[in-house]
Amino acid sequence: MSLYRCPVCGRPLVRGERTYRCPGGHCYDIAKEGYTYLLPVNQRHSKAPGDDKAMTAARSAFLSKGYYDFLRQALCALAVTYTPDVPAVLDVGCGEGYYTAAICEALTAAGKAPRTAGIDISKEMVRRAAKRAKQAELAVASAYRLPVADETIDLLLDCFSPLAIDEFRRVLKHGGHFLYVVPAEEHLWEMKQVLYDRPYRNETKETPYEGFRYVTIRHEKSSITLSCQEDIQALFGMTPYCWKTPRAGKERLAALDTLTTTAAFDIHIFERI
């Protein structure tokens, strides 16, 4: 049985060789890469929602160099700590599957038998994720209308994706855990100093949510050195700054051969009560 449910009628989906089907007769094709499309037309706000090909390529190029391995390792360790022996894991906003695949592997290596699913609203991202995270079910879907049944998930990961807290509360089991990864105060501070005349630090705060108990906040930090302009532009291209940086800031960044900057993240860990 799949972790997914039908986005039209809400009934369970069964995965076949080439399709997902529900008892209501709804059918969803599985692409050759291994993902499916569970985003109804009425949930799309554009023809091609989510990250485009350029941003997808930038993220994949950057992450493939290992700059964020320290964050991936931290998430894998937390996943092992906060899951039962046969966990149901959901990665919301899974992107190209960089963290999804690693968590699958870490849980399996720890002797567990995970059932893992990932969703992202970007078809380009999910296509890449399906190639990377072959153990997981991957689907194009909305975080605000998760194609997942109530109280079925043991561990939910949201890494830099929209906070659909009502849906997270709905799909998590009582006693399940939610890992929420956000940029820390000093994240990319040195790069911001290049981009902006008056750089700002990220706002960080501890926000309680109904139905959840704060377990802890893990702070993960590393100094990373980007050794070529290609990597600098890949990092810049996967951040929101690429949309709102003045031309002068972009030109200063483009003139650099190397850049050493802080990568820092806060992992907020919640328990569903």
Read off the pLDDT of residues 164-204 as tens digits, 9 standing for 90 and up: 999 999 999 999 999 999 999 999 999 999 999 999 999 88
What is the average pLDDT score of the chain? Answer: 94
Task: Decide: helix, strand or coil at residue 218.
Answer: strand
pLDDT at 243: 86
> Where does the pLDDT of residue 146 fall: very low under 50, low under 70, confident under 90, or very high at 90 and above?
very high
Dihedral, CA of residue 220, residue 89, residue 159 and residue 150, to nearest 10:
-130
Read off the pLDDT of residues 247-258 as tens digits, 9 standing for 90 and up: 999 999 999 999
Extract the runs of DSSP E, i.e. beta strands, from 40-108. Answer: 88-92
Q: Which residues pair with 218 in a beta bridge?
A: 267
Q: Which domains does the chain have, with CATH numbers?
A: 45-272 (3.40.50.150)
- Reply yes or no on whether the pLDDT at 49 is more than 60: no
- Reply yes or no on whether the pLDDT at 57 is more than 60: yes
pLDDT at 51: 64
pLDDT at 61: 84
More confident residue, 38 or 61: 38
**pLDDT above 70: percentage of residues in the chain:** 96
CA-atom Rg of the chain in angstroms: 19
Dihedral, CA of residue 87, residue 102, residue 146 and residue 61, to nearest 10:
180
Distance, CA of 71 to CA of 181 (rounded, Å): 9
pLDDT at 44: 58
Q: What is the pTM of this model?
A: 0.94
- Reply yes or no on whether the pLDDT at 47 is more than 80: no
Task: Decide: helix, strand or coil at residue 71.
Answer: helix
Amino acid found at 187: H
> Where does the pLDDT of residue 87 fall: very low under 50, low under 70, confident under 90, or very high at 90 and above?
very high
- Reply yes or no on whether the pLDDT at 50 is more than 80: no
